[in-house]
Amino acid sequence: MQNYEMMVIFTPVLSEEGFKTAQKKYVDFIKANGGEIVHDNPWGLKSLAYPIQKKTTGLYWVLEYLAPSDINEKLKIQLLRDEQVLRQMVVKLDKYAVEYNLKKRSGVSTGIEKAVEG
C-alpha cells in the first residue's frame, strides 16, 4: 500500500450537500477498492488562478489515502468522467511528505514557519 494525496477542484455551482455527496462518492470508491482514508480536508470555495470552463472559483478538496497502486488509474477514469470535476491531481507521497502532513495536522512545528514569516 502506498500513500497518495489527491486534490480535486469541483465546480462552484454545487450546493454544500452536493459537495459532500461528491466527496463521499470518491471516499467510498477508494474504500471499495482496498484503500484507507488517512485525512480528509475540504477547503471550500477558493479563487482559481485562471478561468476553467468560464468559472473563476472552485470548490477545493484534498484527500490523503493509503491504497494499492492499481487503484489510481481507475480513480482517474472516474474523476475524468465526472462533469462536476474541473481539475484533479493525484500525487504519490514519499516518507518525508507523509511525516510533514502528520506534523502539520497535529500542530507540531514543521520548520518552514520561520522561512515564511521572515
Asked if the model's pLDDT at residue 118 lies above 60, the reply is: no
Name the helix (H) or strand (E) containing 78: helix 71-81
What lies within 8 Å, CB to CB, of 81 at 6+ separation is none
Q: What is the pTM of this model?
A: 0.84
pLDDT digits (tens, 9 = 90+) for 76-116: 999 999 999 999 999 999 988 888 888 888 877 766 655 55
pLDDT digits (tens, 9 = 90+) for 19-41: 999 999 999 999 999 999 999 99
The pLDDT, as a whole number, for residue 114 is 57
The pLDDT, as a whole number, for residue 65 is 93
Look at the domain 2-117 and name its fold. Alpha-Beta Plaits (3.30.70)
CA pair distance 48, 55, nearest whole angstrom: 8
50-58 long-range Cβ contacts below 8 angstroms, 24+ apart: 52/9, 52/86, 52/87, 53/11, 53/86, 55/11, 55/12, 55/86, 57/12, 58/9, 58/10, 58/11, 58/12, 58/86, 58/87
The partner residues of 90 in beta bridges, in order of sequence, read 6
The pLDDT, as a whole number, for residue 57 is 95
Mean pLDDT confidence for 46-61: 94
